[in-house]
């Protein structure tokens, strides 16, 4: 009687197993159709199948099986139903790339029809196909068959299982090829561009940002499996330790870039010291985990640091925004994107939230938005820096009141002209002095005097030709160099300026103020007259004009042709 009761219970358990009907297409992970078992002691595949048939496995209620970091070795069972009268092939895929060891057993009736061992603890070349995930082509016989997997890995035990037709597998591969091609292409272009900027400008911000991009690229290659497939296929140890190490590296370079980009050392010295300590402390602890060969601890540190990194970047952006730092808003937006994406992927991988293709790739999307926004912020910072630099150069060469060249800029431009000129080129130097300007300042105030200077500078600019060089020479004096100009034409220009100045009127003490100017001119050839000598001659002619009654031009031909 006991025997018949046991047989009935076994039959009931067997009937309770939900089979996957392969006549349907499954676009989502098949975790909800799977069963798991955590043995206290190691068991063989035959024993695992018996326990599964006896109902000892627990059915999952989530599309993706996820037991987090450092989970114990686990058995997973899936039953397939092939309603056809002949074998049908399906593509079975575990859509992650970091599980250490996967033993795959396929049962039909009482026989094991297929055994495969997968995992990233083996060289990539040993795989039956070149897919970056753990793939197996199943030939499912008519009726019911079981697939049992034994998985052991210190990495996050995330098992997104898919059962795909050939067309589905091809479509998935094409979609991922395009999306990852876009991501890697965009990051590589940003990396090359910023490296070129660093080489050209020697700015540490561009170097740190380039290292941040490079570590992001390597980290992405590691956790997606592309790196194991393309670059380190024969070094399984690097595949297992590389991901947490690259996560650490990415976080460190990201924080160092943020500290420098946002000028945190000057704004918040204590915060700078705290984050610098974190950038040393976490890698130090990771080094200890590596020395003691504790991969679980290394992974916990890496994922904890990634979550902390997202929070710290957000905090740095907030403090910079509060301090009215330029580009802080863009940085803050980038940090929010990175934090949401990274947190979503991290929480999904360690099992806090449901794992799906969307949550798994949220980190990629968030970080891609982050690095693009940071690139825009860095470019904007460069633009502001260049604008300020150009403005500083302009102010260093420009008289701030009148907008004309100052004496320094005047000499630079004239020396450039003289060096570029042939020996037989001639020019005219014109010096203009405002008559009785001291009396204007004394009687009407410096504000009125400034208005007079500005108005006269405008008259000079209005008469200036493209090749002419004009500057404010001193307090109320202006100078103009007229290249390749005969004295007659220069006199006409100078007389025009003098007449327009005499027509100016300024409101001062409820009356109109009229001003006049005296002008001295000197003409010469560069081959036989020094430039400073022409200036001296023009200055003498200016005083000659003043001594003759002011409000007139006084020319001198220093050297004839």
As a whole number of angstroms, the distance between CA 249 and CA 257 comes to 12
- 139-153 pLDDT, tens per residue? 999 999 999 999 999
Alpha carbons 291 and 306: distance in angstroms, whole number: 21
Residue 349 pLDDT: 66
Is residue 497 within 8 A of residue 460, CB to CB? The reply is yes
pLDDT at 6: 41
The two tokens of residue 184 are: 């890697």
Residue 510 confidence (pLDDT): 66
pLDDT value for 167? 92
Per-residue model confidence (pLDDT) at position 372 = 81
Looking at residue 12, its pLDDT comes to 45
- Residue burial 426-447, b: 16+ Cβ < 10 Å; e: rest: bbbbbbbbbbebeebbeebeee
Cα separation, 129 vs 147, in Å, equals 19
Q: Evaluate whether 553 touches 519 at the Cβ level (below 8 Å).
A: yes
Residue 134, exposed/middle/buried by CB under 10 A (0-12, 13-18, 19+)? Answer: buried
Q: Pairing state of beta strands 74-82 and 20-21? A: parallel
Burial of 353 (0-12, 13-18, 19+ CB in 10 A): middle
**How far is C-alpha 66 from the chain's CA centre?**
32
pLDDT value at position 211? 93
499/517 Cα distance (integer angstroms): 9
H or E, element range at 47: helix 45-53
Q: Residue written as tokens 């991290």? A: 346
Q: What is the pLDDT along the chain (561 residues), one digit of tens a residue?
A: 434 434 444 444 444 678 999 999 998 889 889 999 999 899 999 999 999 999 999 998 888 888 888 899 999 999 999 999 999 999 999 988 889 999 999 998 877 777 888 898 999 888 878 888 999 999 999 999 999 999 999 988 989 999 999 999 899 889 888 988 988 988 898 889 888 888 887 888 889 989 998 998 999 899 889 999 999 998 989 988 999 999 999 999 999 999 998 889 998 999 999 999 999 999 999 999 999 999 999 999 998 998 898 889 889 988 888 888 877 888 888 888 877 887 787 677 666 777 777 777 787 888 788 878 878 877 777 777 777 777 777 777 888 899 899 988 898 888 887 777 655 578 899 999 999 999 999 888 889 999 999 999 999 999 998 889 999 998 899 999 999 888 999 999 999 999 999 999 988 776 788 999 999 999 988 777 788 899 999 999 999 999 999 999 998 764 443
Q: Is 170 helix (H, G, I), strand (E, B) or coil?
A: helix
Structure tokens at 144: 């019911």
Q: Report CA dihedral (444, 452, 428, 470) to the nearest 10 degrees.
A: 130
Q: Which residue carries 């006549």 as its tokens?
A: 23
Q: Which H helix or E strand runs over 111?
A: strand 111-118
Instruction: Reduce the secondary structure of 289-322 to three states and give it as a string.
Output: HHHCCCHHHHHHHHHHHHHHHHHHHHHHHHHHHH
pLDDT value for 416: 81
What are the DSSP E strand ranges found in 176-232?
Answer: none
Measured in whole angstroms, how far is the alpha carbon of residue 203 from the centre of its chain? 15
Residue 221 in tokens = 């290659």
Between CA 262 and CA 316 the distance in angstroms is 8
Asked whether 64 and 160 are in contact (CB, 8 A), the reply is yes
């Amino acid at each position: 009687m006991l025997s018949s009761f046991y047989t009935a219970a076994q039959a009931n358990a067997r009937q309770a197993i939900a089979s996957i009907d392969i006549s349907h297409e499954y676009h989502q992970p098949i975790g909800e159709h799977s069963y798991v078992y955590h043995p206290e002691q190691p068991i063989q595949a035959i024993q695992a199948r018996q326990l599964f048939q006896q109902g000892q496995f627990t059915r999952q209620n989530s599309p993706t099986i996820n037991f987090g970091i450092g989970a114990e070795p686990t058995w997973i069972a899936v039953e397939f139903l092939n309603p056809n009268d002949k074998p049908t092939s399906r593509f079975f895929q575990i859509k992650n790339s970091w599980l250490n060891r996967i033993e795959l057993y396929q049962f039909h009736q009482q026989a094991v029809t297929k055994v495969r061992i997968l995992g990233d603890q083996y060289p990539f070349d040993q795989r039956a196909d070149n897919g970056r995930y753990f793939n197996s082509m199943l030939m499912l016989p008519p009726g019911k068959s079981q697939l049992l997997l034994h998985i052991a890995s210190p990495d996050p035990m995330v098992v997104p299982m898919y059962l795909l037709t050939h067309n589905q597998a091809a479509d998935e591969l094409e979609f991922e090829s395009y999306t990852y091609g876009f991501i890697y292409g965009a990051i590589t272009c940003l990396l090359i561009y910023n490296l070129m900027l660093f080489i050209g400008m020697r700015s540490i911000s561009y170097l740190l940002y380039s290292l941040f991009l490079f570590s992001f690229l390597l980290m992405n290659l590691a956790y997606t499996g592309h790196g194991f497939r393309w670059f380190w296929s024969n070094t399984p140890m690097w595949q297992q330790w590389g991901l947490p190490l690259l996560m650490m590296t990415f976080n460190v370079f990201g924080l160092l870039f943020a500290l420098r980009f946002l000028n945190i050392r000057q704004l918040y010295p204590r915060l700078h010291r705290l984050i610098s300590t974190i950038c040393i402390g976490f890698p130090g602890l990771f080094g200890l985990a590596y020395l003691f060969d504790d991969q679980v601890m290394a992974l916990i540190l890496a994922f904890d640091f990634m979550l902390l990194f997202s929070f710290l970047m957000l905090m740095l952006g907030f403090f910079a925004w509060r301090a009215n730092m330029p580009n802080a808003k863009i940085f803050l937006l980038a940090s929010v994107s990175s934090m949401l994406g990274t947190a979503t992927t991290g929480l999904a991988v360690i099992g806090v939230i449901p794992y799906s293709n969307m949550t798994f790739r949220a980190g990629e999307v968030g970080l891609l938005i982050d690095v693009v926004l940071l690139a825009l912020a860095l470019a904007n910072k460069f633009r502001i820096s260049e604008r300020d630099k150009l403005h500083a150069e302009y102010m260093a060469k420009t008289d701030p009141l009148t907008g004309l060249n100052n004496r320094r800029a005047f000499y630079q431009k004239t020396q450039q002209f003289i060096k570029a000129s042939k020996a037989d080129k001639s020019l005219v130097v014109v010096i203009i002095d405002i008559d009785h300007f001291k009396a204007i300042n004394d009687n009407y105030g410096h504000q009125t005097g400034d208005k007079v200077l500005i108005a006269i500078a405008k008259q000079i600019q209005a008469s200036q030709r493209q090749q002419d060089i004009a500057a404010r020479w001193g307090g109320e004096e202006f100078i103009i160099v007229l290249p390749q100009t005969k004295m007659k034409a220069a006199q006409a220009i100078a007389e025009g300026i003098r007449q327009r100045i005499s027509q100016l009127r300024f409101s001062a003490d409820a009356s109109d103020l009229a001003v006049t100017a005296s002008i001295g001119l000197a003409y010469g050839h560069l081959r036989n007259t020094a430039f400073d000598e022409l200036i001296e001659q023009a200055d003498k002619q200016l005083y000659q004009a003043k001594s003759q009654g002011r409000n007139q031009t006084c020319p001198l031909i220093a050297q004839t042709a």
